[in-house]
Structure 1
Amino acid sequence: MTEVSKRQLFTGNAQDLGDGRASMQARCGLGMVVTMEHDSKDVDFYIAALPEGVREIFAAVRQTIANLLPEAAEMIKYDMPSWQLSGRPVIYAAAWKHHIGLYPVYYGDAAFEAAIGPYRVKKDTVRLVYSKPIPHDIIAQIVVARRAQLEAES
């Protein structure tokens, strides 16, 4: 079974085609419905299925992460984009109706927590709401801290 989302996205419905591809029916523009078939593990497909506005925000978040992790493997894991180094996840990002979630965001030193604190909603989750400017500097701090943690564990 592929890792295609079995839940309804707020942009449409993903359906497993049974061969590693997915069919996404997404609402766009003037109420038109577009059906796309693509590899279900492709982050480009994930982003293309997002509504206009969210798509651009998520693409910018993706670029921030990619700039910090140029050698990372980018893939879909647990129905969301993931960036991995040596098979170990550095960060996951998911687009939701009102925010982008970043996971896992573990606790750090006092300075890290002071910066991340306003965005933390659970012990390992950061929420970046669309109604406020996306803090790319915070994303960078999270990615750098997580990478350092993984490197220290190696």
Structure 2
Amino acid sequence: MMATADHDAYIAAAPERFQPSLQRLRGILGRVLPDAEEMVAYDMPGFRIGGTVVASYAAFSKQCGLYLQAGALSEHAEDIAAAGLKATKTGITFSPSRPIPDELVERLVLASREDAGV
């Protein structure tokens, strides 16, 4: 994907099949982090508080990703696996056919904020 200046442009440039998933994530992140600022860094849209990125998301050719503080992912590793998803040290990849459940996204984002100390 090309470098973009904001979330709207990023989502519009993503593969069409991923756009609803990205819009859903943006909505959840914005609701759970109402005091966060939307930003784009490293060509990935995200939400930061006081200069610290709490959560970001991305679309790739075959999947999407949600990126969080490492402590949030390790804290919820069992929940992530129970949802049939795979996590790395910094994120979770998923497809539109197997999205991250909304409630899990909410818990992960709150844990990421806590892990970031903001």
TM more than 0.5: yes
Query: Which secondary structure state, in structure 1, belongs to the residue aligned with residue 78 of structure 2?
Result: helix
Query: Which secondary structure state, in structure 1, belongs to the residue aligned with residue 107 of structure 2?
Result: helix
Deviation at 1:136, TM superposition (A): 1.5
Alignment of 1:81 with 2:32, yes or no, is: no
Alignment of 1:59 with 2:23, yes or no, is: yes
Correspondence for 1:49: 13
Alignment of 1:119 with 2:93, yes or no, is: no
Deviations 1:73-118 (A, max 9, x none): 1111010001000111101211112221122342459872211234
Deviation at 1:129, TM superposition (A): 1.9
1:128 to 77, 85, 94: 94
1:93 to 53, 57, 67: 57
Task: State which structure, 1 or 2, has the greater radius of gyration over its C-alpha atoms.
Answer: 1
Segments of structure 1 that go 5 or more residues without pairing to the other structure are 1-8, 15-21, 23-39
TM-score (norm 1): 0.65
- Whether the 8 Å contact between 2:70 and 2:90 is mirrored in structure 1 is yes
**More displaced 10-residue stretch of structure 1: 50-59 or 103-112:** 103-112
Alpha-carbon distance between aligned partners in 2 of 1:149 and 1:134, rounded to the nearest angstrom: 20
Alpha-carbon distance between aligned partners in 1 of 2:79 and 2:52, rounded to the nearest angstrom: 25
- Whether the 8 Å contact between 2:15 and 2:59 is mirrored in structure 1 is no
Return structure 1 stretches of 4+ with deviation > 3 angstroms.
107-111
More strand as a share of residues: 1
Query: Which secondary structure state, in structure 2, belongs to the residue aligned with residue 91 of structure 1?
Result: strand
Point out which structure has higher relative CO (alpha carbons under 8 A, 6+ apart): 2
TM-score (norm 2): 0.83
More helix as a share of residues: 2
1:128 is aligned with what amino acid?
F
Q: What percentage of residue pairs aligned between the two structures are identical?
A: 30
The count of corresponding residues between Structure 1 and Structure 2 is: 116
Q: What RMSD, in angstroms, separates the aligned Cα atoms of the two structures?
A: 2.3
Alpha-carbon distance between aligned partners in 1 of 2:72 and 2:66, rounded to the nearest angstrom: 15
- Whether the 8 Å contact between 1:105 and 1:126 is mirrored in structure 2 is no
1:92 is aligned with what amino acid?
S
